[in-house]
Amino acid sequence: MERQVLQRCEMGDAVHPLYLTVLMSSLLSNLRWTDEEVVECLNCPNTEQLYHYLIQDILGRHSRTAPHVRKALQLILVSQNGVPESALFDLVPELTWNTWAPVCQELQDRYILTVKCGLLNYAYKQARIAVQLLFSPDEELVLSRDELTEYYMKAVRSNNATCHICDELPGLLQSSENLPLLREFASNVDVFRILYTRGRYADILNCWQTVGLDRLSVSKEYFEIIKQMEEAAALNDTPCPEVANLFEMVGKFSKDLGLLNQRALEVREAIDPDDPNVGRCFYLLGSLHIQWGKVASAESYFKQALYIWEMCEASCQQWVTKALDSLAILYKRQGKYDMVESLTKKSATLKKEVASQEASSQSQRGQGNLKRRIQVLQEQCQKLEGVPLAEALADLGVLFLWQQDLESAKEHLTQGITIIERLCSVRTPKLLRPLGTLATVYETAKDLEQAEGVYLRMLDICKKIPERDSPIANMAARNLGSLYKKQGKFEKAEMLYKDSIRRKEACLGTEHPNVATDLLNLAILFCQQGNHAQALPLFERALSVYENCYGPRHPRVAEILRNLAVLHYERGNEQRAAELYKRANEMKEMMSISGGSRLASRRSSVTSVSVSRPLSEK
């Protein structure tokens, strides 16, 4: 038998991947098949015939539920995109979950059915063809299609239309050529709302064209339907904002926008003349009249919209800017430039206010998120012990630092550091992260002496860690150097940079960009002290490293060229300064022409300085 299976799989017509997948899955899952059944399965010449055999086999083994399963397969076959299981249970009452679940699972295992987005459908075209062969002739399928159509139409009549129903019914109704039902379906306002909001304009028009209406007649049809809804609401003496929304929706859909938007305006004004939606109707009418060339009426509509939105104050500021911009465009066409200028300035001021309010709102939301994160961490700290507790305290210190609550940040970081020192040691690398945050807290609080002590302790701990694996050591050295410069301790900063250069050269080599970064920091330090002679070779060496590593047109190279230009200018070599500055500007222009994007460069504490602001502080 194994030889027969292999021979079948090697035949030219049977090497289709789907055929092999379905065949192997069936043979492995049906180990109780007799030799005759296996041979019969192997004799299926193509995938469609194989599917046909498997479906008959499954129905034969589930003989008690076979009629109900056949009905379910028919309903899935006549659908366009599949059928939800709830619809199957409603349409086939004899089908229960206990009887359907094992059969459905087996059909999925044999790659006959699949479930997508909650809908049961055939997994492949070949499976659909096999089911069509099973139910030929089509009398049963026609009956199933009519039952599914009536089931969906019942949902539409009871105002329970869904996106799936709106997708399914047009195809079912058109295939049955049931034009009265198709007209009833297309006339339903819920169906129109669903299709319109999903951008299915073509489906709406296609339904109406099938029943013999053109686009203009479609607008009139919907207008009459909504008019009847309005009259029914008037009889009950109840306002109906939904009617206005439908008028506006149909107005946007139809070419006959003017009449329908006007009607939406009348309905909304009757409910509340100062409602912002009334202003929106005025604005839409103004936009329409501009397209028609009716400038005077457009101006009147825009002014009425502006008046209503300005009465609403802050809640409609964005709409106010729209009305101001539209009036400015209108006056510009008329040559009223003095009015254009005043409206443009007013619009710009409002836009800044709106942007400021949005930024403030985002900041408030960010502070709210921080407070929630702090609360969660504080609750976690009550359940933690040991090093995890210390790490949670360090995280709290970071969050308090972001909130500018420096005292709380210092308190939690100190607690975490104390725990790590007690459990590990005073020189464990686990201290580096909370120490780095603590140093930032001291710097923010202008306590530079304390920050200096913390950075020195970090560097002492980092001595046991190789330079290659210690980015935090680089950060500590860079920040400490910057701190020394703030304090005016240039000699200490110089020693720190020189020591960092020696360590990096020993570990990374003399031509590494990290070495060039420290060379630049040292060069700028010399320039700030007026020691240009010592700074010049450092700049030139850093320039050489960056050119070798990144190429001669990298933004970092342009920065050094500008710094060198300043240096030569202050030393009196104006010609050389001009050459370097020209080269730097040419590179800047080339980068802007190529898209204005800067190539990726390593972050460093190097300060880019222009000619208008010399490196030395005078």
Q: Please, which pLDDT band fits residue 257 given cuts at 50, 70 and 90?
A: very low
Count of structural domains within the chain: 2
Cβ partners under 8 Å of residue 38, min gap 6: 1, 4, 5, 27
Cβ partners under 8 Å of residue 450, min gap 6: 442
Quote the CA–CA distance of 170 and 178 in Å, as a whole number.
10
User: What pLDDT sits at residue 154?
Assistant: 92
What is the average pLDDT across 413-435? 87
Task: Say if residue 239 is exposed, middle or buried (CB neighbours under 10 Å; 0-12, 13-18, 19+).
Answer: middle
Quote the CA–CA distance of 448 and 440 in Å, as a whole number.
10
In terms of pLDDT, which residue wins out, 512 or 610? 512
Query: Which tokens hold the place of 258?
Result: 């003017």
Query: Which tokens hold the place of 479?
Result: 């920040």
Query: Which tokens hold the place of 247?
Result: 């008028």
CA dihedral 149, 155, 157, 162 (to 10 degrees): -100
What is the average pLDDT across 446-472? 77
At 240, give phi and psi (nearest 5°): -135, 85
Residue 120: strand pairing partners:
83, 115
Quote the CA–CA distance of 473 and 467 in Å, as a whole number.
7
Residue 543 belongs to a domain = yes
Question: Could you say which of 94, 111, 136 is where a domain stops?
Answer: 136
Residue 114: strand pairing partners:
121
Quote the CA–CA distance of 63 and 296 in Å, as a whole number.
78
How many CA atoms lie within 13 Å of 598's alpha carbon, on the beta-carbon side? 10
Quote the CA–CA distance of 104 and 110 in Å, as a whole number.
10
User: What pLDDT sits at residue 7?
Assistant: 53
Residue 507 · residue 463 · CB < 8 Å: no
What is the average pLDDT across 396-420? 88
User: What pLDDT sits at residue 83?
Assistant: 92
How many CA atoms lie within 13 Å of 565's alpha carbon, on the beta-carbon side? 21
Residue 434 · residue 390 · CB < 8 Å: yes
Closest of 78, 85, 91 to residue 172, by C-alpha:
78
Residue 560 CA from chain centroid, whole number: 39
Residue 264 · residue 244 · CB < 8 Å: yes
Torsional sign, CA 588, 592, 598, 599:
negative
Q: Please, which pLDDT band fits residue 600 given cuts at 50, 70 and 90?
A: very low
For the cut 80, the answer to whether the pLDDT of residue 579 exceeds it is: yes
Residue 591 CA from chain centroid, whole number: 30
Residue 113: strand pairing partners:
122
Residue 183 belongs to a domain = no
What is the average pLDDT across 553-566? 85
Quote the CA–CA distance of 269 and 507 in Å, as a whole number.
78
Residue 121: strand pairing partners:
114
Residue 377 · residue 369 · CB < 8 Å: no
Residue 54 · residue 138 · CB < 8 Å: no
Degrees to nearest 5, angle at CA 565 with 562 and 570: 130
Place of tokens 């960010």: 366
Task: Say if residue 170 is exposed, middle or buried (CB neighbours under 10 Å; 0-12, 13-18, 19+).
Answer: buried
State pLDDT tens for residues 517-541: 888 888 888 888 888 888 888 888 8
Q: What percent of the chain is predicted at pLDDT more than 90?
A: 3
Residue 255 belongs to a domain = no
> Domain of 523: which CATH number?
1.25.40.10
Quote the CA–CA distance of 318 and 379 in Å, as a whole number.
42
Residue 249 belongs to a domain = no
Beta strands in 103-259 (DSSP E): 113-116, 119-122
At residue 104, what is the residue type?
A: C
Question: Domain range for residue 31?
Answer: 1-136
Quote the CA–CA distance of 583 and 557 in Å, as a whole number.
10
Q: Interhelix angle for 257-271 vs 215-235, to 10°?
A: 10
Query: Which tokens hold the place of 201?
Result: 């304009």
> Could you tell me if residue 118 is left (phi over 0), alpha (psi between -120 and 50 degrees) or otherwise beta?
left
Residue 131 belongs to a domain = yes
Specify the range with the lowest mean pLDDT, choosing from 63-72, 153-162, 506-515: 506-515
Task: Judge if the upstream peptide bond of residue 137 is cis by omega within 30 degrees of 0.
Answer: yes
For the cut 70, the answer to whether the pLDDT of residue 597 exceeds it is: no
Quote the CA–CA distance of 214 and 216 in Å, as a whole number.
6
State pLDDT tens for residues 290-305: 766 778 888 888 888 8
What is the average pLDDT across 159-164? 88
Count of all residues that appear for the chain in the document: 618
In terms of pLDDT, which residue wins out, 565 or 242? 565
Residue 91 belongs to a domain = yes
CA distances to 165, 242, 246, 270, 301 from 250, rounded to whole Å, are 21, 12, 6, 19, 20
Cβ partners under 8 Å of residue 251, min gap 6: 257, 259, 260, 261, 263, 264, 284
For the cut 50, the answer to whether the pLDDT of residue 123 exceeds it is: yes
Question: Could you say which of 108, 136, 164 is where a domain stops?
Answer: 136
Q: What is the CA radius of gyration of the chain?
A: 39
- pLDDT mean across residues, the chain: 78
Q: How many CB atoms lie within 10 A of CB 364?
A: 10
Residue 578 belongs to a domain = yes
Place of tokens 């001009």: 578
At 285, give phi and psi (nearest 5°): -65, -40
Residue 294 belongs to a domain = no
Q: Please, which pLDDT band fits residue 398 given cuts at 50, 70 and 90?
A: confident
Closest of 164, 240, 253, 161 to residue 204, by C-alpha:
253
Torsional sign, CA 546, 547, 551, 554:
positive
User: What pLDDT sits at residue 602?
Assistant: 32
Question: Could you say which of 136, 154, 180 is where a domain stops?
Answer: 136
How many CA atoms lie within 13 Å of 250's alpha carbon, on the beta-carbon side? 30
At 511, give phi and psi (nearest 5°): -110, 25
In terms of pLDDT, which residue wins out, 217 or 148? 148
